[in-house]
Amino acid sequence: MRVLLLALRRLAASLPTLFVLLVGLFLLLQLAPGDTVDALVAQIGGGDPTMIEELRRYYGLDVSVAVQLGRYVWRLLQLDLGYSAIYGKPVADVILERLPATLLLMGSALSFAFAAGMALGVLAARRVNRWPDTLISTLGLIFYATPSFWFGLMGIVIFAVKLGWLPAGGFEEIGAGYTGFRRVADIAWHLLLPTLTLALIFLATYLRIMRASMLEVMNLDFVRTAKAKGLSPGRVITAHVLRNALLPMVTLIGLQAGTMLGGSVVVESVFALPGLGRLAYEAVVQRDLNTLLGIVFVSALLVIVINFIVDLLYARLDPRIAT
């Protein structure tokens, strides 16, 4: 109950931010030359002025920016995200269609990056300045410095084109009609490469943060005490160091949740996945304001929710942080 109350309070506090964000973005996008009709005309290779005028009326672009903004805010207050110009259906539907793929990709990449980053970070910290540390840190640097589209494409070239082990792209086998466990396995199969690609860069960050944080905590007084009272090195690490070293990692998750939504544009394009990142990109190119604002709205909500969970986790990890 207390948690629920807290959640509501947090949401209420975020509402003004959300509103400013949406209105700001709406105005910002007015600065981009061309509207959704220009983008449509570009896509279909031309059109005559009467048709263009009519389309502008159809998309509600024949009125002033102020009126458009007014209409948008009014709809938003009624919890209506409007109509998508690209897909010709409600933005809420379009986003709901894409959300599962995005969440799946993001969730698995984040979990993998977090788990592997933590493990490698601990390993590197325990063998600090010896060869395992050097190896892990070098790998981390390479992952961090390499653009993810390159990783993705190389993954495709090696594992799909040359070896034929994994599919080159797509979310699942089209028209195969799998159900139940078979379908889950099929989707997992398709998401393996994209997840790894997306995870590698984040893994590098987690690994470095974990290593640094471990090293820092290992020099604190209470660890020395633990050692002095005769605990085994393994027990010191798991029971005392790890728990305290995890705090910055958890902070990082909260920060990166937002980045991951945007960062997956590249991965989604390379692997032809129907995610939110690609939708957002398309919405910008096609100047589909409603869709773009809708995505920002959903992403912002997602970030708020994740940060809320992060706060709860803090409290669990470190009881001193009262909520």
Partner 1 sequence: MRLTRRDALLSTSATLLSTILPRSAFSQESPRRGGILTAHLGSEQRILNPALRASTGVYLITSKIMEALVDLDAEGRPVPILATSWEGTPDGKTVTFKLRDGVTWHDGKPFTAADVQYTAMEMWKKHLNYGTQLQQYLEAVDTPDLHTAVFRYSRPMPLNLLLRALCDLGYIAPRHVFEGTNILENPANTAPIGTGPFKFVQYERGQFIIAERNPNYWRKDFPYLDRIVWRVITDKSAVAAALETGQIQLSSYNGLSLSDLDRLKDDKRFEVSTRGIEANAFNNTLEFNTRRKELSDVRVRRAIAHAIDVDFFIENFLYGQGKPATGPIPSSSPAFYPGGKPPYPFDKKKSEALLDEAGYKRGADGTRFTLKLVPIMNGEDVPLLATYIQQSLAGVGIKVEIVQLDIAGALTTVYRDWNFDLATGWHQYRGDPAVSTTVWYRSGSPKGAPWTNQWGWQSDKIDQLIDQAATEIDPEKRKTLYAEWVKAVNEELPVWMVTERQFFAATSKQLRNHHNTQRWDSSDWHDTWIAAS
167 binds partner 1 (CB under 8 A): yes
Give 133-176 as a DSSP string.
HHHHHHHHHHHHHS-HHHHHHHHIIIIIIIS--S-SS-SS-TT-
Q: Among residues 126, 143, 251, 245, which one has the least CA distance to residue 202?
A: 143
What does the alpha-carbon distance between residue 141 and residue 255 come to, in Å, rounded to a whole number? 20
DSSP, res 63: S
Q: What are phi and psi of 63, to 5 degrees?
A: -105, 170
185 binds partner 1 (CB under 8 A): no
Q: 242: Cβ–Cβ under 8 A, 6 or more apart, which residues? A: 122, 214
Residue in 1, 77, 175, 177 binding partner 1, rule: CB under 8 A: 175
Residue in 18, 25, 38, 103 binding partner 1, rule: CB under 8 A: 38
Q: How many residues sit close enough to partner 1 to count as binding (CB under 8 A)?
A: 54
Token representation of residue 160: 């799909």
96 binds partner 1 (CB under 8 A): no
Q: Which one, 17 or 30, has the nearer CB to partner 1?
A: 30
Length of the chain: 323
Residue in 60, 90, 169, 262 binding partner 1, rule: CB under 8 A: 169
Question: What residues pair up with 90 in beta bridges, in sequence order?
Answer: 83
Q: Which one, 190 or 211, has the nearer CB to partner 1?
A: 190
32 binds partner 1 (CB under 8 A): yes
Residue in 269, 300, 305, 310 binding partner 1, rule: CB under 8 A: 269
Minimal distance in Å, beta carbon 92 to partner 1?
A: 14
41 binds partner 1 (CB under 8 A): yes
Map tokens 């029971």 to a residue.
Answer: 239
Task: List residues near partner 1 by CB under 8 A.
Answer: 32-36, 38-52, 54, 58, 85-88, 94, 97-98, 153, 156-157, 160-161, 164, 167-171, 174-175, 269-272, 274-275, 278-279, 282, 285-287
